[in-house]
Chains A and B, each alone.
Chain A
Amino acid sequence: MLDANWVWGTALLYIAILFLVAYYAEQRRKAGRSITAKPSVYALSIAVYATSWTFYGSVGKAATTGIDFLPIYLGPTLTAFTWWFLLKKIVRISKENNITSIADFISSRYGSSQWLGAIITVITLMGIMPYIALQLRAVSTSFTIITGYHDFHIGFMDRVYIPSPHPGLFTAILLAVFSVVFGARHLVSAERHDGLVAAIAVESVVKLIAMLIVGIFITYSLFDGMGDIFRQMHEADPELLTRLTTLGDSGDNSYASMFSLLILSMGAVMLLPRQFQVMVLENAHESHLNPASWRFPAYMFLMNLFVMPIALAGLILTRSNAGADYFVLTLPLQHGHPWLALVAFLGGFSASAGMVMVESIAVSTMLLNHVLMPIVVKVTPRQWFPVLLINLKRLGIVLVILLGYLYQSVVNESYMLANMGLISFAAAVQFAPALIGGLYWPRGNKAGAIAGLLLGFAVWFYTLLFPSLVQAGGWQSEILRNGLFGMELLKPQALFGLTGLDRYTHALFWSMFLNIIAYLSLSILLGQGEKESEQVQRFVRIFAPETPVSQWETKRLSKPVTIMQFVNLMSKFIGEQPAHAAITDYLGDREIDSQGGVSEFELPNLKRFVEKTLAASLGGAAAGAVVESFLSDIGSRMESVYDIFSTVRTSRDQSREALFVRLRASEIMNRSLELDIIMGDLLELILKEFKFDLCVIRLLNDQAVLQVRSCKGVGGERITSEDRMLEIDTHVGEAFLGRRTEFFNDTSFITKPIAKEIFQREGIKSFAHIPIASEGAPPVGVLSVFSRSIIGLFTEQFVELLESLAGQLAQAVRIVEEREARERERRQKEAALLENARVTRDLELAKQIQLSLLPESAPRLPGISIASRCVPATHVGGDYYDFFQRGNSQLDIIMADVSGHSVGAALIMVETRSVLRAQMQSPRPAREVLGVLNQLLYDDLTGAELFITMFCARYDCATRTLAYANAGHTRPLLFRGGGWQELDAEGLILGVEQRVEFEEKSVALEPGDLLFIYTDGIIEAENKEEELFGVSRLCALLSTLQDQEPEAVVERVLAEVNAYASPSSLQDDISMVVMKVLPSGTNCGAC
């Protein structure tokens, strides 16, 4: 015996170490470097299969019934062959659907049925009770054996008064606390629990080492190896040895029991809630399945290697199989090795604690999600929900362990550990038909699964659990002896007269027989619901390559839901932060529209994501119910969309109809160049093929208005008659400006008031506005389609098809517009050319007229010779000169320059000429001429904003005097002898002031003098360096020409100026009058 405090202290220390390990694992996970995401840790965690039943009970079974303890471990080894495809499939499905437990898994497969989940949970809870009881029994009994106290006991308990409860209560409480702390840290059940897994792995190592140490001690210290044990046993009791090491014909340890134990254990290793928890939910990566599939059987092999030797050794040493369950403890104790017994105790404690922790957590998750949650979701979610839920989960753990405690209180000591465990196995194996069928048989349905489970459970309860309770309670029962209602056929342990089998084989046979029959027959007889068939895709065909089915989502939400609404919903169950993190993760780079929602086609996916996220905490069925009730609260629901493409789809986006419509549209575009015909035919096609009621095409016109260009269909006067401005508050405008299709599958949710009113009056149920735009180019118009009968007409694919038709139309519109634009440009160019030619001709005419207004030839007067010339820079000019001959002796010379050389200047010049001619009827002095002209022309000149410079001179042949006045004109040059002078007289330009006094001067000319009167065009001619021709250059030129005839002078000056300005033409009009006084005597006589 060991001191209780020592044992207690050691256990406490061990638990502390486990906590540290768990804490360390959690920290590593938070740092992103999980220590449990390894194949070896995974394999060790699966070894939670080896409970205290393995640790203590196997020895007990080996010592009493014999070799049939082995199939319990051979079965799992066999299933390892199936892991690579079966377990992998389960793991994949669970990860994709955020499965939280085996109940969740099976109920999800059958349309997230809440009933199915609840049934499985109840079966599990009842079935697992004996198993938990077994663990509690093992711990408390082993404590009793090595300390002598009934239950966990500490020294101070002697001093304070604590009512001594039934054995095992303290153990139960201890393990419950342990499980709550490890397993219910957060609500999300679909996530891995790193701390828990690390603790389980350590426990697995401890129990294996403890078993091996004890086994080696007994086999090689107390005996001389395994052969020695078998030999001694053979000598002591050969018959017993033969019985224990061979299979009998009936009852325990027979061929039949061998078979049923194999089946039970094969089912248990996959289907027990804790196995599902560690193998599926705590799996970090699918690739870990591979190494685990041989490491776990190897672990089992080592664990069982010394079971038979220990059992036989116990039999030899104690000469009895009483208390064989605890040979592992008692043998070292009896042989004076209490510390070895303590090691064995720790091994056994590890085995129990690991199992209880995982099992209670798994079952509590099921309880929460499938029994409590359906009630909870009926209540409106509140802010404190996450706290409530996590505490409910903790409560569940305690409840599960307490139920186990209750069972072990009722069942007396006579029941062996292994037997209690097998009852649980038989319950777990009831899930097999629904699970395996659900994975591989698409027809399997909810009705079949529920019926099979209920029948199997009923048979199990009646043939196994009930008798165990009755027998263990020590009560005698009429039912057990004579059957229900005294009917022999209904005897629980010989149902329908089936005898000769051990009770497990008997129960297994009947429960599985009825279970499978019910599952198969109802699945064949009845059909599947819509939700079920949806789930079949996700389960049976999980490994099938991504089918286009999801692309053709045929469901839609009748009323759009915003992202924030979904986030709020999730926050109420899983807390605000995780909800936001989840949605951020989901949205990623998805497009969000202006109202903070995703596109209508994305909504069903978003809804599914929300369900999945909630499922990780609430389980699939409850999550589905939560989302469903949330949607109905806001007046939305999932509904089928009208399927416009009824034939089988050949590929993702090319149904036969779609292909046909595209082809026809291409034909229409190619057949005609007339846009109106194309649009009309296209609308006709769309209207007919897709059963719309109204189709309209609006194109953008020059006034930036979307003008109705074509429409087909009935009614809708307001729609077809009104053009639409480019405004965001109409749907048409929004589609055009936003460059994306605007559609409403249900106009009752429309928000724009004008549109709402129109659609209500027209009775339009759904519509779409598709911008007519080719790839990358701005839209040219909008194609609108309306339906009066069908809600939910527009699927993603249909909208895509309409968009592609609009794209084709955009091409046609573009081609027509380009052609029209080219035509217009050509005509404009022609007109411009024509106009230009006309103006040129007119100007040429004007030029001719203008030139004809100038004196045809210079007047001939005695004593002088005159030459004159005018060269306009453009067609018409502003230069003017004139001669008025008065008799044979007097000549008036006028040289004028109207500013500018436009048509206006030419007209002023003509006016000036007319006025001047009128005024020159009577002879006047030069200054008077200018004064009168100024007065007469002032108004017209200011009106036209033009000026005139004018030089006016009168030459008297008799006196050879030149009297002159100058109105701001370029000063004429007078050459005499070798020099020259400018003829200057004060005077303002005409048209500046109303009244101007002009100075008149006179100069006496001499024979040989050359008078050069000109306009500034000559001296202002520029060469290409932009230097002016200048007065000095002119004077130098004229000086050399003094002897020449006037005509020659004119020619020469013109030639020089032209040469100077070359290569460009003259900028200004050039006019000049050259008068030469002939030598006296020669001509004077003629005067």
Chain B
Amino acid sequence: MKTRIKELVVRRLKLKDTWVICFALGLVMMNYPFISIFNKPISPFGIPLLYLYLLIGWFCSIFVVFLFSRAAARKESEGRGHP
């Protein structure tokens, strides 16, 4: 089950479309009006909410790109294996 989900995710990550969608999604999530949700003068864990949101969001997007590059590298090696 776990491997099946992983396979599915990897296959989707290989698509150029997924990259573009993630790019657009990131752009939306960093702009008005979406960002106004976090644009409040409160500090959970003592850290301002917007700052925290951007840092966590940043970290997450780096992780997603990491997954992308793993999947793409996999595609390449598979591509070499089965020309």
Residues in chain B near residue A246, CB distance under 8 A: 39-41, 48, 50
Within 8 Å by CB of B62, from A230, A245, A262, A298, lies: A298
The reply to whether A85 and B16 contact each other, CB–CB distance below 8 Å, is: yes
A241 contact set on B, CB distance < 8 A: 48
Interface flag for B54 (CB, 8 Å): yes
B35 at the interface (CB under 8 A from A): yes
Q: How far is the CA of A71 from the CA of B61 in the complex (A)?
A: 14
Is B31 positioned at the interface, with any CB of A under 8 Å from its CB? yes
- Asked whether A70 and B72 contact (CB < 8 A) given A82-B23, A234-B43, A255-B36, the answer is no
Is A652 interfacial (CB-CB < 8 Å)? no
The CA-CA distance from A82 to B66 in the complex, in Å, is: 13
Q: Are A247 and B46 in contact (CB under 8 A)?
A: no
Select one of A78, A226, A287 contacting B23, CB under 8 A: A78
B27 at the interface (CB under 8 A from A): yes
Q: Is the CB of A81 within 8 A of B59?
A: no
- Which residue of B31, B50, B72 contacts A290 across the interface (Cβ within 8 Å)? B72
Inter-chain contact A74/B54, CB cutoff 8 Å: yes
A287 touches B50 (CB 8 A): no
Q: Are B51 and A67 in touch, CB under 8 angstroms?
A: yes
What distance in Å separates the Cβ of B36 from its nearest Cβ neighbour in chain A?
A: 7
Interface pair A297/B39, CB less than 8 Å apart = no
B63 contacts which chain A residues (CB < 8 A)?
294
CA distance A227 to B44 in the complex (A): 10
The answer to whether A82 touches B19 (Cβ under 8 A) is: yes
**Counting CB contacts under 8 A, is B47 at the interface?**
yes
Query: For the complex, what is the distance from the CA of A81 to the CA of B67, rounded to whole Å?
Result: 11
- When distances are taken between beta carbons in the complex, the residues of chain B under 8 Å from A230 are 43, 46-48
Interface string of B57-73 (1 = CB under 8 A from A): 01101110110110011
- Which A residues lie within 8 Å of B61 (CB)? 77-78, 81, 297
Q: Assess A242 versus B41: contact at CB under 8 Å? Given A84-B19, A255-B32, A297-B62.
A: yes
Contact of B46 among A231, A287, A297 (CB under 8 A): A231
Give the residues from 282 to 331 in chain A that come closer than 8 angstroms, CB to CB, to chain B.
287, 290-291, 293-294, 297-298, 301, 305, 308
Assess whether A496 is interfacial by the CB under 8 Å rule.
no
Chain A residues with Cβ below 8 Å from B9 are none
Q: Is the CB of B35 within 8 A of A258?
A: yes
Query: In the complex, what distance in Å separates the CA atom of A74 from the CA atom of B43?
Result: 21
B57 nearest CB neighbor, chain A only: A74
Most A CB atoms within 10 A — which of B27, B35, B63?
A: B27
Return the CB mask of A897-920 against B: 1 if under 8 Å, else 0.
Answer: 000000000000000000000000
B58 near A77 with CB under 8 A, answer yes
Residue of A nearest to B45 (CB): A227
List of B residues within 8 angstroms of A70 by Cβ: 54, 58
Contact with B along A54-93 (1 / 0, CB 8 A): 0000000000000100110110011111101100000000
Chain B neighbourhood of A77, CB < 8 A: 26, 58, 61-62, 65
Please give, as numbers and ranges, the residues of chain A lying within 8 Å of B7 by CB-CB distance. none
Measured between alpha carbons, how far is A258 from B46 in the docked complex, in Å? 24
In the complex, residue of chain B having the shortest beta-carbon distance to the beta carbon of A297:
B62
Contacts of B22 on A, CB cut-off 8 Å? 81
In the complex, are the beta carbons of B47 and A294 less than 8 A apart? no
Q: A246-B39, A259-B32, A298-B62 are in contact. Are A81 and B54 (CB under 8 A)?
A: no
Residue of B nearest to A299 (CB): B62
With the chains together, A181 CA to B67 CA distance in Å? 40
Please tell me which one of the listed residues B47, B51, B54, B69 contacts residue A291 in the complex, with CB atoms under 8 A apart: B69
- Closest chain-B Cβ to A1045's Cβ sits at a distance in Å of 105
Chain A proximity of B58: nearest CB distance (Å): 6
**Which residues of A sit under 8 angstroms from B58, Cβ to Cβ?**
70, 73-74, 77, 297, 301
A57 to B12, CA, bound (A): 40
- Give the docked Cα–Cα distance between A234 and B30 (Å): 25
Cβ–Cβ contact B47 & A290, under 8 A: no
B54 touches A67 (CB 8 A): yes
Contact residues in B for A293 (Cβ distance below 8 Å):
65, 68-69
Interface residues of A in 224-256 (CB under 8 A from B): 226-227, 230-231, 234, 241-242, 245-247, 255
What 1/0 mask marks residues of chain B from 2 to 16 whose CB sits below 8 Å from any chain A CB? 000000000000001
Expressed in whole angstroms, the minimum distance between the Cβ of B60 and any Cβ of chain A is 10
Provide the residues of chain A in CB contact with B66, threshold 8 Å.
294
Q: How far is the CA of A70 from the CA of B66 in the complex (A)?
A: 21
- CA separation between A61 and B57, bound complex, in Å? 21
Q: A246-B48, A255-B35, A301-B62 are in contact. Are A85 and B19 (CB under 8 A)?
A: yes
By a CB distance below 8 angstroms, the chain B residues around A80 are 65
In whole angstroms, what is the CA distance A762 to B41 when docked?
94
Report the minimal beta-carbon distance from A96 to chain B, rounded to whole angstroms.
19
Complex CA gap A234/B58 in Å reads 24
Q: How far apart sit A81 and B23, CA to CA, in the bound complex (Å)?
A: 6
Contact pattern, A 531-559, Cβ under 8 Å of B = 1, otherwise 0: 00000000000000000000000000000
Chain A proximity of B80: nearest CB distance (Å): 10
- Given A227-B47, A258-B35, A262-B30, A301 and B59 contact (CB-CB distance below 8 Å): yes
Residues of A close to B30: CB separation below 8 A: 71, 74, 78, 258, 262
Could you tell me if B23 and A245 are in contact, using CB atoms closer than 8 angstroms?
no
Chain B residues near A234: list those with CB within 8 A.
43
A245 → chain B, closest Cβ, in Å? Answer: 4
Are B31 and A262 touching (Cβ within 8 A)? yes
- Which residue of chain B lies nearest to A227 when distances are taken between CB atoms in the complex? B46
User: With a CB–CB cut-off of 8 A, which chain A residues contact B20?
Assistant: 81-82
Q: How far is the CA of A291 from the CA of B55 in the complex (A)?
A: 21
Report yes or no: B19 in contact with A247, Cβ–Cβ below 8 A.
no
| Whole-angstrom CA separation of A585 from B31 in the bound complex | 52
* Contact call A308/B51, Cβ cutoff below 8 A: yes
| Chain A residues within 8 Å of B68, by CB | 81, 84, 293-294
Residues of A within 8 A of B65 (CB): 77, 80-81, 293-294, 297
In whole angstroms, how far apart are the Cα atoms of A776 and B54 in the complex?
Answer: 74
A226 to B30, CA, bound (A): 23
Whether B16 and A84, one on each chain, are in contact in the complex, defined by CB atoms closer than 8 angstroms, is yes
What residues of chain A lie closer than 8 Å to B48, measured between beta carbons? 230, 241-242, 245-246
**Minimal Cβ-Cβ distance residue in B for A263:** B27
Establish whether residues B69 and A290, one from each chain, have CB atoms under 8 Å apart when the complex forms.
yes
Q: Could you pull out 11 A-B pairs where Cβ atoms are within 8 angstroms?
A: A67-B54, A77-B61, A77-B65, A78-B30, A78-B61, A81-B65, A247-B35, A247-B39, A262-B30, A294-B62, A308-B51
What would 5 more interface pairs be, CB under 8 Å, given A226-B47, A262-B27, A298-B62?
A: A70-B54, A77-B61, A78-B61, A81-B23, A308-B51
- Kindly list the 5 A-B residue pairs having the minimum CB-CB distance in the complex, ordered from nearest: A245-B48, A255-B32, A81-B23, A290-B69, A227-B46
Which A residues contact B (CB, under 8 angstroms)? 67, 70-71, 73-74, 77-82, 84-85, 226-227, 230-231, 234, 241-242, 245-247, 255, 258-259, 262, 287, 290-291, 293-294, 297-298, 301, 305, 308
